Structures are given as C-alpha cells and as structure tokens.
C-alpha cells in the first residue's frame, strides 16, 4: 500500500500534531538570550500577528503583557519572537503562560528550553 509502513500498517505521512510541532519549532530562538524584546511601555503588533482584535499592548499591565506573549507565541514568525519577546519576562510568566498556549507550543518550548519547564514546576 502506498504511503503505509508495511510492517506496522501505519501511515508514513506526518500527523497533524507533527506538522504543528514542526511549525512552532521553526520559530524558536537558538537561545533564550536572543529574546531581547521590550520590557516596558506600549508595543504595537503588525497585522500578520494580531490580525484580529487588540493590536497595541501595554507591557506594564500584566494581562496585556500576557496576551501579547500568547499572541506572539501562537501567531508570530521567528523574527517576531526575537523582536517582541523578552527572555526575563517570558521566564517569569511561563508558569501561567504555558497554561494559556496550545499543548504543541508548550511542548516545543519546554523541549527546547528545559529551564522553562523547571521554572513552571518550581512554581507549582
């Protein structure tokens, strides 16, 4: 059968989860230190990230900051992640943020940066 592993009778096509994980993995920085985005003030996101709803966020307001990070993680390209996210803010928000993003995003980031998973378990 074409497209099927003859020994295990499974499809050789990647699953939807594999495709999503690959998409998010391609957006990761090489190191968390590359995340040098702003820490304070107002940030406006481009339309390709915030294509619906709020586009300007005040980083000094915790809910807006969390919303910006969630949006960039889900919709941003690699350069957007580097531009808009800050390493220290990401790490400090990760225990709550990880519950607001998809499982695929959470797994990709925690697999690449185990310190985020450790931070989350230390707070729990």
**pLDDT for position 123:** 67
pTM for the whole thing?
0.83
Provide CB contacts within 8 A for 49, sequence distance 6+. Answer: 71, 72, 75, 76, 80, 84
Maximum Cα interatomic distance, the chain, rounded to a whole number of Å: 58
The predicted structure's pLDDT at residue 2: 47
Tokens representing 77 are: 């390209």
Residue spans per domain, the chain:
12-123
List average pLDDT for each run of 10 residues in the chain, which is 124 residues long: 54 75 89 97 95 91 97 96 97 96 95 89 69
């Amino acid at each position: 059968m074409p497209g099927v592993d003859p020994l295990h009778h499974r499809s050789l096509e990647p699953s939807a989860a594999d495709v999503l994980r690959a998409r998010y993995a391609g957006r990761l920085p090489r190191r968390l230190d590359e995340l040098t985005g702003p820490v304070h003030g107002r940030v406006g996101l481009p339309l390709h990230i915030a294509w619906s709803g709020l586009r300007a966020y005040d980083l000094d307001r915790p809910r807006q900051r969390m919303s910006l990070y969630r949006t960039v993680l889900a919709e941003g390209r690699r350069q957007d992640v580097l531009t808009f996210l800050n390493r220290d803010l990401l790490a400090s928000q990760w225990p709550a943020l990880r519950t607001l993003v998809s499982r695929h995003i959470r797994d990709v980031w925690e697999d690449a940066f185990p310190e985020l998973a450790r931070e989350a378990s230390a707070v729990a």
